[in-house]
Amino acid sequence: MAIEIFMPALSPTMEEGTLATWLVKEGDTVTSGDIIAEIETDKATMEVESIDDGTVVKILVDAGTDGVPVGQIIAILAEEGEDIADVSVPASSPAPAKAPEPAPEPSATEPENTEARAKIAQSDTPDTMLSLLTALKAVQSDESDDGGRVKASPLAKRIAANEGIDIASVAGSGPHGRIVKRDVEAALKGGTATQAAAAAPAAQTAPAPAPVSTSAVAYPPHDDIPFREERLSNMRKTIAKRLTESKTTVPHFYLTIECELDKLLAQRKELNNKLADSGVKISVNDFIVRATALALKKVPAANVQYAVDKMYWYERVDISMAVAIDGGLVTPVVRGADLMGLADIAKTTKELATKARDGKLMPEDYAGGTFSISNLGMMGIKEFSAVINPPQGAILAIGAGEQRPVVKDGALAVATMMNCTISCDHRAVDGAVGAEFLAAFKGYIEDPITMLL
């Protein structure tokens, strides 16, 4: 009996993926455990193993295909000893799910105008009448012979209007047939442009633009600037979707605190000298992960997530650590960071960062997390505010450590200072809780010996 190979769910949130590469071809014999394909998810490119022995009869989804839904049949195997000729192959594989296309602009037909006028007549308030009049004007301004809109740059439209030519009679040479300045000028020189009707109302020569939604609008490139077009990876699509959702639906607020690093730097140097023979090297970021975990244990009200009609209070601290990679960033998780010492944290963070940059993260490496850290200090960024990684309740943004003038015991001195900003979901974390967390974090950073207790 034929064996169907389906698009696997390689992460808890995966709905579709890109079939990046086939490592087998039709007619190849495979055994259980053989790597047969590479699938690109929203987090990494992962290998897919065959779970059965057999011969590849048919590959139904070509390499490089985007948007293949989880559960779709991607290939057919014949069982060992089965005659390939007897294997029934589906006529076609279901097409990958496509992103919904934007709704077409309504054509300016008389029934729509009549409906709009009727609504205006029934309106009770000036505001309602004004909004409906605006909508009617937008409908009327979109009228054209074919029910569509002439694609032309604003500059090209202005030149055509000034010269009295019909912009629709000009052939466009821009992207997707768009009419640009050089097209209008060429039409003027060649005498190929049609004069616009003199009797047309002035309002028709410069129609008011219709309201445009600000969500996911694809603006055409500038006429005179060279550009290249690049399709978004699954990772970049997911980042765009999740962070747009976060900034538009999560009420962020921000708190910033300064931490002195001099004792921590001295402690780090001493510990690394003692660990020189072990191959372990503790970074400032490892101290930050440890201090964050201990501060969350001390202030458990910051280690929470909002869930509409309830709150999740986590009794273990799993730190999501933002790691920049080619094409985006991922957040591998240091699980049980509150139960780990500095040496263990150093080993874990190094291993996770290496796997992230090599594209080898497994779902269990990045799924979950109760709190996030984003550290741009090593890139020289003094201070920034990070976007919360939903459904988590907060994220801590770490700036660069730098020497600054400070006042100690009434005298001016120089100290290494670091700005840290927490972004909180106000539905889950109140201002007082955020401030209490930062105070606990500052205490551990400025007196690092307490992290070792």
Residue 176 annotated as catalytic? no
Instruction: Report the largest interatomic distance among the alpha carbons of the chain, rounded to a whole angstrom.
Output: 90
Task: Name the active-site residue from 176, 222, 252, 426.
Answer: 426
Token representation of residue 112: 């729509």
Give the CA distances from residue 98 to residues 17, 66, 268, in Å, rounded to whole numbers and listed in that order: 12, 9, 52
- Using an 8 Å Cβ cutoff, are 60 and 6 in contact? no
Catalytic residues: 426
